[in-house]
């Protein structure tokens, strides 16, 4: 791992790492084909949220490229909760579907918890079902961990970051990223064993915590909230933020920005993820890996 602080941080290349991971997944898929199984991922999109449509298209494309059966079911925003639960029920019972992902957010009249708890935990490749959340917290490895925090943990491992005994500060306490991220890093074992602090919108003196971090993971959803003065020299900084901000120099008038003030923080950190091209590509790669695992487990069961 590079730690030449004076020359600025080394970049973590999420695009290259995700490509590597997807090649590994494709090899696992090929091995499953030989055993007569094609891993199947079904993504359900309700409504016409533009950002969700882009994510869902990317998931379908990636699963097909890995040799999996990738299906997307698009439903109108007027779909009732009961109709969605009935669809989940059908997918639960379909042996060709190994992974089910219902894209969030759902329209306001549908309770996301009702939908998530309806998915069979063995097919919950998002890792959102309470059974999988519980397994993650206990440290059981036969469940599914959510894709974004798993991707972050994988990045740290591939870049040789020492996590054991490290002060790991997570900024953000969402169910999709912050909470599972903390749970992963506090487990005993390789790639974890960190001393974890979770900060959030009610944290007093955020900088006093972030400045102690050997590994700083930011998933707060506020553009460029982490400034250079909030980062310990030589820290590893992982930016999960994806914020659209105004930028008159681009054709669309906007661009993506992370939660970290990248240009300033990269001068202080030893290793840092860019946005885009950092954590984002890892999420889909981990989704494919979870789906392959779900398919493998049907053979091992
Ligand atoms: N919406 C944004 N990220 C995610 C994700 O990881 N899974 C699902 N199901 N919906 C999302």
- Tell me, yes or no, whether 72 and 156 share the same domain: no
Q: What gap in Å lies between CA 14 and CA 31, rounded to an integer? A: 26
Tell me: do 228 and 103 sit in the same domain. no
Residue pair 196/180 in contact (Cβ under 8 Å)? The answer is no
CA of 72 to the centre of ligand 1 (A): 14
The number of beta carbons lying within 10 Å of the beta carbon of residue 283 is: 23
Has residue 301 been placed in a domain?
Answer: no
**Which residue lies with its CA nearest to atom 1 of ligand 1?**
104
Distance 35 CA to ligand 1 centre (A): 30
Asked which of 104, 120, 136 is the last residue of a domain, the reply is 120
13 pLDDT tier (thresholds 50, 70, 90): very high
Instruction: Share the mean pLDDT of the chain.
Output: 96
Residue 158 and residue 88 share a domain: no
- Within-domain flag for 288: no
**Is residue 230 within 8 Å of residue 247, measured between CB atoms?**
no
Which atom of ligand 1 is least distant from the CA of 101? Answer: 9
Q: How far apart are CA 96 and CA 240, in angstroms?
A: 33
Query: What is the CATH classification number for the domain harbouring 254?
Result: 3.40.50.720
Q: In this structure, are 271 and 160 located in the same domain? A: yes
Question: What gap in Å lies between CA 136 and CA 143, rounded to an integer?
Answer: 7
The number of distinct structural domains making up the chain is: 2
Average pLDDT for residues 284-294, to the nearest whole number? 98
In a domain, 197, yes or no: yes
Looking at the fold, whether 41 and 101 belong to one and the same domain comes out as yes
pLDDT at 300: 85
Q: How confident is the model at residue 16 (pLDDT cuts 50, 70, 90)?
A: very high
Which residues does a 6 A CB cutoff place in the pocket of ligand 1? 101-104, 126, 147, 176
270 and 223, same structural domain?
yes
The answer to whether residue 1 scores a pLDDT higher than 50 is no
pLDDT of residue 301: 77
In this predicted model, what pLDDT tens digit does every residue of 108-163 receive, in sequence order? Answer: 999 999 999 999 999 999 999 999 999 999 999 999 999 999 999 999 999 999 99
Give the span between the Cα atoms of 84 and 6, in whole angstroms.
Answer: 54
Same domain, 114 and 154: no
The predicted pLDDT at position 68 comes to 97
Domain that holds residue 108: 36-120
In a domain, 128, yes or no: no
pLDDT for 4: 44
Ligand 1, residues 105, 106, 176: which to mutate, most atoms within 8 A of Cβ?
Answer: 176
pLDDT digit string, tens, across residues 175-198: 999 999 999 999 999 999 999 999
Q: Is residue 242 part of a domain?
A: yes
* Local confidence band at 3 (pLDDT 50, 70, 90 cut-offs): very low
- If asked whether residues 198 and 115 sit together in one domain, one would say no
Q: So which residues are the catalytic ones?
A: 59, 103, 126
């Amino acid at each position: 791992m590079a730690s030449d602080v004076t020359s600025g941080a080394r970049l973590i290349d999420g695009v290259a790492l995700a490509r590597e991971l997807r090649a590994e997944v494709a090899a696992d898929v090929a091995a499953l084909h030989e055993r007569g199984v094609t891993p199947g991922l079904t993504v359900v999109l309700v409504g016409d949220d533009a950002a969700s449509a882009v994510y869902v298209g990317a998931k379908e494309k990636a699963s097909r490229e890995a040799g999996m059966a990738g299906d997307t079911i698009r439903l109108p925003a007027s779909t009732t909760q009961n109709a969605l639960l009935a669809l989940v029920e059908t997918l639960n019972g379909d042996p060709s579907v190994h992974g089910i992902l219902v894209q969030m957010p759902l329209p306001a009249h549908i309770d996301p918890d009702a939908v998530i708890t309806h998915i069979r935990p063995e097919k919950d490749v998002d890792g959102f079902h309470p059974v999988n959340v519980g397994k993650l917290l206990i440290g059981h490895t036969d469940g599914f961990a959510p894709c974004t925090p798993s991707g972050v943990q994988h990045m740290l491992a591939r870049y040789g970051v020492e996590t054991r005994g490290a002060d790991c500060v997570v900024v953000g306490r969402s169910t999709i990223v912050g909470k599972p991220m903390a749970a992963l890093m506090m487990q005993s074992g390789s790639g974890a064993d960190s001393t974890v602090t979770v900060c959030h919108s009610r944290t007093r003196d955020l900088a006093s915590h972030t400045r102690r971090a050997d590994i700083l993971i930011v998933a707060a959803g506020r553009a460029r909230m982490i400034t250079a003065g909030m980062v310990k020299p030589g820290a590893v900084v992982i930016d999960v933020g994806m914020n659209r901000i105004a930028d008159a120099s681009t054709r669309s008038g906007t661009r993506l920005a992370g939660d970290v003030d990248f240009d300033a923080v990269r001068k202080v950190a030893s290793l840092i993820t860019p946005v885009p091209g950092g954590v984002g590509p890892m999420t889909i790669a981990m989704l494919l890996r979870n789906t392959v695992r779900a398919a493998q487990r049907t053979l091992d069961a």
